[in-house]
A and B are shown apart, each in its own frame.
Chain A
Amino acid sequence: MQIGTDKVAEMARLARLELENDEIKALTVELSGILEYVAKLQQLDTTGVEPVSHALAVVNAFREDEVAPSLSREEALANAPVATGEAFVVPKVF
């Protein structure tokens, strides 16, 4: 299955990645090869097969809603690239 550079550019936009033109070109070739390979899944008849997203039969894990210790604000902000003493700072939204 072949895909075009426009499709790769669209995926990059959705994934919040900024790719150079030569990066997009290389990825388009590599992705076409990978998609060609994964197309072999179409050889298998999966009519009526329930898709599996989790290998074990586990159900929702509920617990009591109890207050427990959590990170202090200082710890939570410690790795922020930019922060005031009480919040993460980001560039303007628009």
Chain B
Amino acid sequence: MDIHQFTISQLAEQLTARRLSSREATEAVLDRIEATGERVNAYITVDREGALAAAEAADRRLATGGAPPLCGVPVAIKDLLCTKGVRTTGGSEILENFVPPYSATVVEKLQQAGAVLVGKTTMDEFAMGSSNEHCALAVPRNPWNLDYICGGSSGGSAAAVAADQCMAALGTDTGGSIRQPASNCGVVGVKPTYGRVSRYGVLAFASSLDQVGPLTKDVRDAALLLNAICGHDPRDSTSVHEPVPDFTAELGCGLAGLRFGLPREYFEVGLDEDVKKAVMAAIGQLEEAGAEVREISLPRTEYGVAAYYLIAPAEASSNLSRYDGVRYGYRDQDAQDLLEMYRRSRSRGFGREVKRRIIIGTYALSSGYYDAFYRKASQVRALIIEDYRRALQECDVIISPVTPTPAWPLGSKSDPLSMYLTDILTIPTNLAGLPGMSLPCGFSHNGLPIGLQLQAGHFREDLLLRAAATIEERLGFAGRRPRL
């Protein structure tokens, strides 16, 4: 096994035993990026010097003993998260040269744990997209088949993990942006409960839905990263005072006492046959392991996309008003007055999908349409939350596909609405603020990964991880990597 193929736990074992140095591991990962980077295109920025300096610092810490499990481990960060002194673009031309003067809380936490940041991964512009094709700076390719999408918006993070160009990565999930690319690239992805993880220093897309989470090679690594990033942050007033357990503690506890719910409506959205087969096979494994699986109903599932595509753009249209060419970002230098400068800077700096969503959001919030659109969507959001409340009385973990289909060929979906509809099974989780995850459960007939989605009640990431660890062990897909 090559060094770059290690999981976090495998590498940590080598590092703490001093059989391997962080410098060697970091060099191995940087070499891997060098060798396969152009084909996969997962990174916008690779910080070779910073990574090697961090690796040397980690080695000094490892030498004294008692270092945390992430110490010396090379990780990648979605380019939506601010990194002090390292360019952070949000996948947008408007921030192409932005170098943040501070780091996101999650980035600080990883650095305090000794993790080595190797670079910033590509993404749909401002996290708006389901295929990671909406990025002027870098469109990643699926490591399992380079002609296919990685999924989005955290496509670069998923691709980097799948291609062994880092041990693990952070992404963000507003409507499925961690789970969907994780599913498409055959890695594990967790979207924590809203408020679990600080959003401070994360370029805001839709503030009531955005959440940071890990993309990893296996379930244990996801638990390790969650241990490091969760917790209240006084700098994010929406982060919660909720105790953070050791998420690795119950990984080996099996399924005893866990009730699984299969939402009928998730299977009525025109599922691809391969997806249905892989998901049902995983559920068969659960039953064989003695788990109780029952059918449940989330009756308002089909309205999630409609509610989301009013709420998220509404929040985005407000959040993105800060990009005005004054304090940071692109400025049109020829404008004659202030208003013209705003208009031209924004129009040239933002890409097509971002402008589309700003216009939708502005419309949904505008006088005369607010009640019919934004208010109505917020009421439907309440109904979707009520659906979950009822369903989670009958089961502990909701199990389903992540997406209706596996990854599709790059460039094959041009209509925005058909792209939006691919998020139909992941969006409701965000509307309700619940934790959700994706883990590999099979492959399509043409060799593309398929993910299994698990959802649970607020702050029950422990249940997701416990169930996922058992499923992972029984299915045995965790070690599978694409040939590059």
Contact = CB atoms under 8 A, between A and B. Distances in A.
B240 A56 contact: yes
Dominant secondary structure at the A interface: loop
B483 interface: no
Interface in B289-346: 300, 302-303, 305-307, 309-310, 317, 321, 324-331, 333, 335-344, 346
Contact of B238 (A34, A38, A54, A92): A54
B83 interface: no
A18 B385 contact: no
A51 to B, nearest CB: 3
B208 A53 contact: yes
A44 B303 contact: yes
B196 to A, nearest CB: 10
A7 B113 CA distance: 51
Contacts of A86: none
Given A37-B305, A81-B330, 5 more contacts: A16-B324, A18-B347, A43-B303, A71-B101, A90-B326
Contacts of B382: 46, 49-52
A67 interface: no
Interface residues of A, number: 52
A51 B458 CA distance: 19
- Interface-central residue, B321, B363, B431, by most chain A CB under 10 Å: B363
A27 B352 CA distance: 9
Contact of B375 (A30, A34, A51): A51
B342 A16 contact: yes
B433 interface: yes
A55 B78 CA distance: 24
A75 to B, nearest CB: 4
A35 B347 CA distance: 23
Nearest to B365: A14
Contact of A51 (B99, B300, B355, B379): B379
Interface in B411-442: 415-417, 420, 431-434
Contact of A58 (B240, B359, B375): B240
Given A17-B347, A18-B347, A41-B307, A79 B327 contact: yes
User: Closest 5 interchain pairs by CB?
Assistant: A55-B433, A51-B378, A81-B331, A79-B328, A46-B379
Interface string A50-94: 111111101011010000000100011011111000001011111
B102 interface: yes
A42 interface: yes
A49 B383 contact: yes
B238 A58 contact: yes
Contacts of B416: 30, 33-34
B380 interface: yes
Contacts of A54: 208, 238, 433
B237 interface: yes
Contacts of A61: 237-238
B346 A91 contact: no
B383 A46 contact: yes
Contact of A46 (B366, B376, B432): B376
Given A58-B238, A93-B338, A11 B366 contact: yes
Nearest to B343: A18
A14 B346 CA distance: 13
Given A15-B359, A31-B360, A33-B417, A40 B306 contact: yes
A16 B401 CA distance: 40
A60 B237 CA distance: 8
Interface string B267-305: 000000000000000000000000000000000101101
B356 interface: yes
B348 to A, nearest CB: 9
A47 to B, nearest CB: 9
A55 B99 CA distance: 33
A58 B335 CA distance: 44
A8 B359 contact: yes
A41 B371 CA distance: 12
A15 B380 contact: no
Contacts of A60: 237
A30 B375 CA distance: 22
B164 to A, nearest CB: 34
26 contacts: A3-B363, A11-B363, A14-B362, A15-B321, A17-B358, A27-B359, A30-B417, A34-B309, A34-B416, A34-B420, A37-B309, A37-B417, A41-B307, A41-B376, A46-B379, A51-B375, A52-B378, A52-B379, A56-B458, A58-B240, A79-B97, A79-B329, A81-B329, A91-B336, A92-B336, A93-B337
A89 B433 CA distance: 41
B347 A19 contact: yes
A76 B346 contact: no
